[in-house]
A and B are shown apart, each in its own frame.
Chain A
Amino acid sequence: QQQVKQSPQSLIVQKGGISIINCAYENTAFDYFPWYQQFPGKGPALLIAIRPDVSEKKEGRFTISFNKSAKQFSLHIMDSQPGDSATYFCAVNNFNKFYFGSGTKLNVKP
């Protein structure tokens, strides 16, 4: 059973545009919701994370929106740049286990 569902599978955005990636989960025991960025040949790197007691967190061009009642959270990348082209994974955490989404491959066109 997939613990977190991520969409879309791939995304093409023009430079300067907004990239939006969505995730949904079922288990209300999850209490930490990170986003990871992965470049080819590299391991995932933590981008930004949120806890369920806040509805939004912003770090630079990256924002997480969190809807606890809907059990959904999303990553917004403002002013998307070609260097943002990578695969993005959402994850949910319960104590010592992370469950990752299936990933979104983002391509930012110059």
Chain B
Amino acid sequence: DAGVTQSPTHLIKTRGQQVTLRCSPKSGHDTVSWYQQALGQGPQFIFQYYEEEERQRGNFPDRFSGHQFPNYSSELNVNALLLGDSALYLCASSFWGVGYTFGSGTRLTVV
């Protein structure tokens, strides 16, 4: 049984560019949450998707947007990248808030 799969594992982007990160949830999970983890910090909640809609959102600007597909997979899009967006982006899938499974993350470096 595959867990949560994130792609790509690493990428480097230039300031001002746009990036799309992808996440496939664990089988049986219908909710996907995205987190940003800056170096030396705890993960910060970006937003959560359920039934293809954004259900909750953390304190992140509109440059951060997402999407969930009918198969529950999800994308995180970040526009107009800033140096401060450099971080590890984690995807977690869950079912009813009890069993969160995390992917290995995507390491984004903005130069």
A, B bound? no
- Chain A residues with CB under 8 Å of chain B are none
